[in-house]
């Protein structure tokens, strides 16, 4: 199983192939491919690659599934004894990404390859 830590939207996120993640809104249409090159760390079968600050020759391929909005957060401000109250809501604009593969130094780790190795390990037992 391989995973990577990427940076997008000023936040760091641990991603694995075959899973989807919600990140801050990206200016890309749905069903389009995206390549993220801000990869900070990659762990795979043979070892790890740590970036300073990014890993050289490492990319994460993703597909934009949809654009959505997060849960509503209520911001309530009150000044006691002053009769001042302010209630405001906020919903973050999000983009849902499906991680297709992680590539580092010519090696590519995808969800299909991980399932194939897991199936072969189970059949050997």
pLDDT at 48 over 90: yes
Residue 29 near residue 35, CB atoms below 8 Å: no
φ, ψ of residue 121 to 5 degrees: the values are: -65, -40
- Contact of 84 with 46, CB cutoff 8 Å: no
Checking if the pLDDT of 119 tops 80, the result is no
* Confidence band, pLDDT 50/70/90 cuts, at residue 20: very high
Instruction: Convert the pLDDT of each residue in 72-113 to its tens digit.
Output: 999 999 999 999 999 999 999 999 999 999 999 889 999 887
pLDDT of 40 above 90: yes
Alpha-carbon span 60 to 37, nearest angstrom:
7
d(CA 32, CA 19): 16
Q: Is the pTM of this model over 0.85?
A: no
Model confidence band, residue 21 (pLDDT cutoffs 50, 70, 90): very high
């Amino acid at each position: 199983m391989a995973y990577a830590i990427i940076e997008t939207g000023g936040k760091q996120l641990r991603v694995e192939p075959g899973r989807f993640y919600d990140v801050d809104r990206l200016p890309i249409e749905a069903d389009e491919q995206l390549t993220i090159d801000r990869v900070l760390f990659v762990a795979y079968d043979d070892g790890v690659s740590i970036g300073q600050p990014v890993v050289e020759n490492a990319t994460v391929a993703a597909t934009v599934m949809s654009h959505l909005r997060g849960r509503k957060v209520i911001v309530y401000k009150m000044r006691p004894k002053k009769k001042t109250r302010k209630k405001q809501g906020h919903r973050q604009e999000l983009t849902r990404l499906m991680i297709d593969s992680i590539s580092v130094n010519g090696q590519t780790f995808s969800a299909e390859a991980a399932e194939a190795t897991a199936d072969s390990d189970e059949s050997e037992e």
